[in-house]
Structures are given as structure tokens and as C-alpha cells.
Amino acid sequence: MISEKASEIFKKTINDYHLLDSIDQPFRNPYKLNSIDNLLYRKSWIDTIQWHYEDLIRDPKINEKEALELKRKIDVSNQERTDTVEFIDSYFLKFFESVKPKQKATINTESPAWALDRLSILELKIYHMREESLRENANKIHRETCSSKLSILIEQKKDLSQAIDQLLKDIKNGNKFMKVYKQMKMYNDEDLNPILYGLKG
């Protein structure tokens, strides 16, 4: 099951990050280049770094220069996240290229990679909610509230995992087909963002 494999890789990534717990630590991917494992690890690493960027930028004491630098890093991270999702979808397109969809096959609301993107974020939520549920310097009500939320996140993970596995099974059996639209982000494009192309005029 791809969801189980992906979850294990996501959990490993998150644990690897927290060995040093630093946004500036070097990135080392332990999996073979161009493998699905490599792509999933990279995806989760990007999400984990960005999770901590988002924590830092919400510091009310952050100065404007640091906030701007973090915003730029978040923009780069978002682009890397989208690029990696597309690489994962390209992997699945190649994997299922010999499958001929049935005449009544339907398309899903999201591609397999974007569903796995949600699973990656969910693993981060579970990790940090579990931390909060066990935080010794938090009061009992806080820990109990977080423990309740953790149970919901775990149930959500179970449902999402089943949906991902079912989607890939349906694609494999020709009941659904993949159709991936490449990103059309405009704010990074010098020809589409009016602020950027205005600078060239």
C-alpha cells in the first residue's frame, strides 16, 4: 500500500529533521535518486522546513528584515513543494502509462501526488499535536484538548490513506484516469506579475 509506505517515509523525515531541529541544517536524502522514496522524502523535508518557517514568521517580536527574509524563503519553499508534487505525479503517470482507462472511467478531484501532499502535512500535524499533548509545562486542559485533537488527526489519516490507496487501485484497474495540469502560478513569473513586468518597462 503506497499510503503506508509514504507515511513511514514521512515519519522518518520528520524524525530526521528533529534530530537537529534547525531550519539551516543540511539536507541529505537517504533514498536512491529518481526513486519514489527519494521524492517522498524530499517532499516531506520541504514541508517540515516550511512548517518551522511558518512558526518563526509568527513571532510578534520578529524584526521587519527577518520577516521579509523568511517570507522569501517561504515563497521558494512553496515553489519547491509544487515542483516536487509534479515530479511525484510524473512518476505515477509513467507507472500507469500502459493502463488503458475503461470507457466509463472518471477523473479524480485531485491527483495522487496532491493527495500524498495532504498526507505529508497530516503527519506533521500528528507529530506536533502529539508533542503538545505530552508537553510537561502545559496545563492539563491543554494536554487533554491536544490529545482529543490528536485522535481526530489519526482518524483523518486513516481515512485519507484508504482514499489514496483506493484511488491508485482504481487507476491501476482503469476505473479512474490521471490528468495532471502543470502549475500556472503567476506571482513568480516576470511576464505575468504586473509588479515584476512593470519593473522591466
Element holding 26 (H helix, E strand): none
Dihedral of alpha carbons 138, 144, 149, 154, sign: positive
Count of domains observed in the chain = 1
Question: Which range of residues forms the domain containing residue 126?
Answer: 2-200
Cβ atoms of 176 and 105 closer than 8 Å: yes
Could you give the CA distance from residue 56 to residue 21 in angstroms, rounded to a whole number? 13
Tens of pLDDT, residue by residue, the chain (201 residues): 899 999 999 999 999 999 999 999 999 999 999 899 999 999 999 999 999 999 999 999 999 999 999 999 999 999 999 999 999 999 999 999 999 999 999 999 999 999 999 999 999 999 999 999 999 999 999 999 999 999 999 999 999 999 999 999 999 999 999 988 776 666 667 776 776 667 665
Return the pLDDT at 167.
Answer: 98
Return the pLDDT at 195.
Answer: 66
Return the pLDDT at 1.
Answer: 86
Element holding 177 (H helix, E strand): strand 176-177
Q: What is the pTM of this model?
A: 0.91
Beta strands (DSSP E) in 2-155 are 106-107
